[in-house]
A and B are shown apart, each in its own frame.
Chain A
């Protein structure tokens, strides 16, 4: 039996799962079958702990063309344009080897997009790091940012927005979530991964296969022990130059209608791509593993199946079109090799040098994967208080803290403009691209970990509402979202309870905003030595507006503008930053919040509104400071609730006095209120009795990074 225990450990399967394999096969697994079950039944590929809850995201919307189950979701945005987008985690590899982990995270998410037939037009990233003083942290920050920059810049897709958080719960388990957006123009086909057509070729294109990333999917499905360094060989190596060639050649063959189906070889490599494509089409494959182009001839069949070598795709094409396919790839300097063919099936047959080494119905692997309804508790708010108690913060301390300082050091390393579509870049709270139709496409990330730490249910709502309000404050209608659910160990009831609370709140938000979750991923086991990360359901929201003209700025633009505060206070909270005690009171009324979002969106279409910003972390004091420029400040008298608690939800607007009346009217239609709180001035920021020179503020905000990361500056 020792032998079996060792095997289960090697393939990261439980005893119960082994019993299930025996029952679905009617016998014990043999040879490469072990590897297949290990990969496809891993948490990463099967979503076995989350599947029951992810169903809560499902709802019909006529604009959704592809949702969960495909490589990425696709929505129709009218005018002949469609967009595909998705966010995915690369947390574990990035902690082990930050440069390659982050780089291949970008590469992987881009392949999910162009495999649908969409040209990638934007990247974004959601990063959570530990405290600057935590071991390896400066190197992790430097490596992750360099990896994203090195890959994204070279492949020629701009990184246009991002969010970066710091907290000690990420000290031993950082989060690297990459989002990509692709655009289909009029006439571009949406291609799926549904294999079909008896006799069609199964074709391998892209980079050669090596040993990198073998067992990567099951590694990502396990908590870290202290030996994470020893897992370095499971991290893949990326080559963005190859990816660029793959983008051009794949889009080319799709546009010429030369392929039936296509999928990238991502997690669990050839195994998941071939078995999933066959299962979706209800067909079988005959695949000769010895025809897979190898970097080195000593790589064996099991490693070929599990390799996560990057920049590879599997496609299905009609035999008569293969020469044309090959010609396109050759033009771009790439090879295409026929591995085998599609047949009625239902089994996938794997051959190695003429011998049949595995024959299995792919549905056994994809449809029979275990599903766990892990124990959880119905959500009960713990930090709810009758009255908030928190002392005021010092603005200069906030602006120079790692939580509050400028992220320019990070995004200055990203090419934000390649593609020539960027209208608002990482400097702004919402990034904007101009579509060929002339309309504005807005992208913003969501999830605020400090709110999650206050309450997972409030945090779940906030992961949808906050970014939706940010879009609305710039005049964008939110259309759809993607998510990346980063959580700890789902086998622990308190983690699973947070997961369920956050998912249910986010699902309700998506429904009420009519912004369906069309793609995403779940990353469990973000746990090291029993310490779990802050539950972090990061999101990416996309929105649309009619043009890129007259979008309110995120900073003040005119001396003398009146400053308005538009508020729908539902929850008041104090975060745990700068040593404060997390607490909150109130509850989110999703219906009311959604009406507020819509009213804001409509009201800011008024071209006289010069500036807008959603009040966020720390409170109004920080938000107003972020709206100051080198020359323009503000004079703001006392505000009800003060400058240093957060209220969900509030928007700060600036414009001439003439905008007040229409704004107040709009506010009254959704049960909210709008008050004038101050005026845009020159030279200083005055918050109640406190007055700061702009020089002092800008210095704190612009040098905070180098104070926290002296060795990186």
Chain B
């Protein structure tokens, strides 16, 4: 069985939760430390977990984007491996330009923690099966998706808008909660699938995302 690479930066704090979620769907996670590069063929998919890498210093995800591990991740992305960035991981993927656009301060300038409903807009390697509404929790202070008007239009045209909010929690443009690259192997999502893996958590829709790794 191939392993799932889980990236860790200084300040990443959803790493252990992602680890658990990967194990929950029966796969084997392995840490990828920010200072190290790796052989892309050693893993079948990659997750960049959320948290506060480098304490959000400078700009969310900006410092992590320069870490050595991201060089290997860029290579994996180019080769078509599935890559998922969650919350701060999404911010990091935008900072490295693996995904388009940016995530800026929430419209109300406050951190927001709540459950949201999402409409999947397109199929990617991370939701091969799901097309119906899914419910996941968000927890972020800077999750407002932003892109220039023309870029936004291109995202819709090229089916790169992955998920939209039913009820927008942060002022994201066009209710965008997640996007993907043109090849649809690299995805970024503000809500946290790893926090919705069982009914006792308040919902199990996160399994839809994590189970995509099973192929």
Contact (Cβ within 8 A) A420 B21? yes
B10 at the interface (CB under 8 A from A): yes
Instruction: Name the residue of chain B whose CB is nearest to the CB of A154.
Output: B52
Bitwise interface map of A from 418 to 437 toward B, beta carbon under 8 Å scored 1, else 0: 11101101000000001000
Within the assembled complex, what's the spacing in Å between the Cα atoms of A434 and B54?
29
List of A residues within 8 angstroms of B57 by Cβ: 241
A420 and B113 contact, Cβ closer than 8 Å, known pairs A156-B14, A241-B57: no
List of A residues within 8 angstroms of B113 by Cβ: 411-417
Contact (Cβ within 8 A) B56 A412? no
A605 at the interface (CB under 8 A from B): no
Contact (Cβ within 8 A) A422 B201? yes
B131 at the interface (CB under 8 A from A): no
Contact (Cβ within 8 A) A149 B111? yes
List of B residues within 8 angstroms of A239 by Cβ: 55
List of A residues within 8 angstroms of B139 by Cβ: 153, 415-418
Interface residues of B in 187-203 (CB under 8 A from A): 192, 194-195, 197, 200-202
List of B residues within 8 angstroms of A422 by Cβ: 195, 201
B89 at the interface (CB under 8 A from A): no
B17 at the interface (CB under 8 A from A): yes
Contact (Cβ within 8 A) B137 A417? yes
Interface residues of A in 127-168 (CB under 8 A from B): 146, 149-150, 153-156
The winner among B14, B52, B113 for most chain A CB atoms within 10 A is: B113
Within the assembled complex, what's the spacing in Å between the Cα atoms of A244 and B52?
10
Closest chain B CB from A598 CB (angstroms): 25
A332 at the interface (CB under 8 A from B): yes
A419 and B17 contact, Cβ closer than 8 Å, known pairs A332-B10, A413-B113, A549-B200: yes
A417 and B55 contact, Cβ closer than 8 Å, known pairs A149-B111, A155-B13, A244-B11: no
Select which of B14, B21, B110, B202 is within 8 A of A413 by beta carbon: B110
Interface residues of A in 401-455 (CB under 8 A from B): 411-420, 422-423, 425, 434
Number of B positions contacting A (CB below 8 A) = 29
A333 at the interface (CB under 8 A from B): yes
Within the assembled complex, what's the spacing in Å between the Cα atoms of A153 and B113?
10
B117 at the interface (CB under 8 A from A): no
Closest chain A CB from B107 CB (angstroms): 13
Interface residues of A in 245-289 (CB under 8 A from B): 245
What is the size category of the interface that chain A forms with chain B?
A: 20 to 34
Select which of B111, B114, B194 is within 8 A of A153 by beta carbon: B111
Contact (Cβ within 8 A) B112 A154? no
A412 and B17 contact, Cβ closer than 8 Å, known pairs A417-B137, A417-B139: no
List of B residues within 8 angstroms of A333 by Cβ: 10
B82 at the interface (CB under 8 A from A): no
Interface residues of A in 371-427 (CB under 8 A from B): 411-420, 422-423, 425
Q: Secondary structure of the B side of the interface?
A: mixed
Contact (Cβ within 8 A) A420 B111? no
Instruction: Name the residue of chain A whose CB is nearest to the CB of B112.
Output: A412
The total of interchain contacts (Cβ-Cβ below 8 angstroms) comes to: 85
Contact (Cβ within 8 A) B137 A153? no
Select which of A146, A154, A155, A419 is within 8 A of B56 by beta carbon: A154
Contact (Cβ within 8 A) A413 B111? yes
B51 at the interface (CB under 8 A from A): yes
Closest chain A CB from B50 CB (angstroms): 8
List of B residues within 8 angstroms of A242 by Cβ: 55
Contact (Cβ within 8 A) B192 A241? no
The winner among A411, A420, A425 for most chain B CB atoms within 10 A is: A420
List of A residues within 8 angstroms of B20 by Cβ: 420
Instruction: Name the residue of chain B whose CB is nearest to the CB of A413.
Output: B111
Contact (Cβ within 8 A) A420 B10? no
Closest chain B CB from A437 CB (angstroms): 14
A418 and B201 contact, Cβ closer than 8 Å, known pairs A154-B55, A412-B113: no
List of A residues within 8 angstroms of B200 by Cβ: 423, 434, 548-549
Instruction: Name the residue of chain A whose CB is nearest to the CB of B10.
Output: A333
Select which of A241, A425, A549 is within 8 A of B55 by beta carbon: A241
A245 and B195 contact, Cβ closer than 8 Å, known pairs A153-B52, A417-B137, A549-B200: no
A293 at the interface (CB under 8 A from B): no
Bitwise interface map of A from 204 to 246 toward B, beta carbon under 8 Å scored 1, else 0: 0000000000000000000000000000000000011110110
List of A residues within 8 angstroms of B51 by Cβ: 156, 418
List of B residues within 8 angstroms of A414 by Cβ: 111, 113
List of A residues within 8 angstroms of B21 by Cβ: 420
Closest chain B CB from A248 CB (angstroms): 9
Instruction: Name the residue of chain B whose CB is nearest to the CB of A426.
Output: B113
Contact (Cβ within 8 A) B10 A156? no
Within the assembled complex, what's the spacing in Å between the Cα atoms of A149 and B113?
11
A417 and B52 contact, Cβ closer than 8 Å, known pairs A156-B13, A333-B10, A434-B200: no
Contact (Cβ within 8 A) B52 A420? no
Contact (Cβ within 8 A) A418 B55? no
A240 and B55 contact, Cβ closer than 8 Å, known pairs A413-B112, A416-B113, A417-B113: yes
Chain B residues in the interface with A (C-beta under 8 A): 10-11, 13-14, 16-17, 20-21, 51-52, 54-57, 110-114, 137, 139, 141, 192, 194-195, 197, 200-202
Known pairs A156-B52, A244-B55, A549-B200. 11 more at Cβ < 8 A? Answer: A154-B52, A156-B13, A156-B14, A241-B57, A244-B10, A417-B113, A417-B201, A418-B51, A423-B201, A434-B200, A548-B200
Return the 10 tightest CB-CB contacts between A and B, nearest first. A156-B13, A241-B55, A420-B17, A154-B52, A415-B139, A548-B200, A417-B195, A413-B111, A423-B200, A149-B111
A-B contact list, 27 entries, CB within 8 Å:
A153-B139, A154-B55, A155-B13, A240-B55, A241-B10, A241-B11, A241-B52, A241-B54, A241-B57, A244-B52, A245-B10, A245-B11, A332-B10, A412-B111, A412-B112, A413-B111, A413-B113, A415-B139, A416-B139, A418-B17, A420-B21, A420-B194, A420-B195, A422-B201, A423-B201, A434-B200, A548-B200
